Amino acid sequence: MESHSMTSGTSDARSVLAPTSSSLEYCPHVWDTAAPTTRQKRAVRLIDGIVSGDESWIYCYEPENKRQSAVWMFQGEENPTKKVAIFVSKAGHIATIPLNEQRTVTADWYTTICLPKIITELRKINQDNASSHTAQKTRQYLTKENMELLDHSPYSPDLSPNDFFTFPKIKNRLRGQRFQSPEEAVDAFKNAILDLPANEWNKCFENWFERLQMCINLRGEYFEKQ
C-alpha cells in the first residue's frame, strides 16, 4: 500500500477536481462557484495540456517469469540496458529519448539535450522528484521557456501516468523477447507505445485524475492495494 502527503504541485488540476471544503488547504478552489458541468469541461481541457515525463531502463531481455530470470542469471550472460526518457500526454506518445553517451540523467543532459527536443509540445509538464527534474538549472530552463511545472508528490508512483500505466504496460508486452542490442530494444519499446490506441491514453489520463481526486478526498492519505 502507498500513502501520500500532498504538496502544492499540480495545483491547477486539484483546483478543478477538489471538493469544496475549506479544510483542504493544499487545494486552491479557483472554480468552487462553477457549475459541475463547467468544472468537468475545464478539467478535460486541463488534462489535454499536460505532458507527463519520466525515465526508465530498457532491457535487451525481460524474463517472462522468475524461473527464466534465474536461468538468465545462472548462465552469467550480460543483459545490456539503455535508459530512456519518455513523454506522454492524453493524446498519446510524444517522445522517447535515449541516453546515448551516459547512463545517468543529469540536469545538464535534461536541459540541453532532452527537453529541447520536445519543448514545442510543452505547456504544462508533470514529472517526479528526481534530482535532474528538481535541479535549479531545470527549473530555470522551464521558466525561461514559459513552461509550467506541476510538482509531484514524493514516493507516489501510483500518481504518475508513466509509472502506473506506460512502463508496466509496454514492458509486459516485451517480456520474453530477446533483442540483439539496447538500440533494438529501445526501437521495440517505441513501436509498442505507438501501437497503443488513442482511447487507452484517454483512459490513462482520466484514471490519473481519478487517482488524484481519491487522494484529495482522503486528505492526502491515498491507499492502493498492490
Give per-residue pLDDT as tens, 166-184: 999 999 999 888 888 889 9
User: At residue 44, does pLDDT exceed 80?
Assistant: no
C-alpha distances (whole Å) from 74 to each of 36, 67, 69 are 58, 11, 9
User: At residue 71, does pLDDT exceed 70?
Assistant: no
Q: For residues 210 and 33, which has the higher predicted lDDT (pLDDT)? A: 210
Residue 150, pLDDT score: 82
Ordered domains of the chain (ranges, CATH): 53-214 (3.30.420.10)
**Residue 81 has which C-alpha cell?**
540496458
Instruction: Read off the pLDDT band of 224 (50, 70, 90).
Output: low
Residue 125, pLDDT score: 92
pTM equals: 0.74
Average pLDDT over residues 122-145: 93
Phi/psi at 71 (5° precision): -65, -40
SS3 (DSSP) at 167: helix
CB–CB of 183/74 below 8 Å?
no
40-62 CB burial, b ≥16 within 10 A, e <16: eebbeebbeebbbbbbbebbbbb
Strand order through the sheet with 81-89: 92-98, 81-89, 50-59, 124-126, 148-150
SS3 (DSSP) at 90: coil
SS3 (DSSP) at 165: helix
Residue 187, pLDDT score: 95
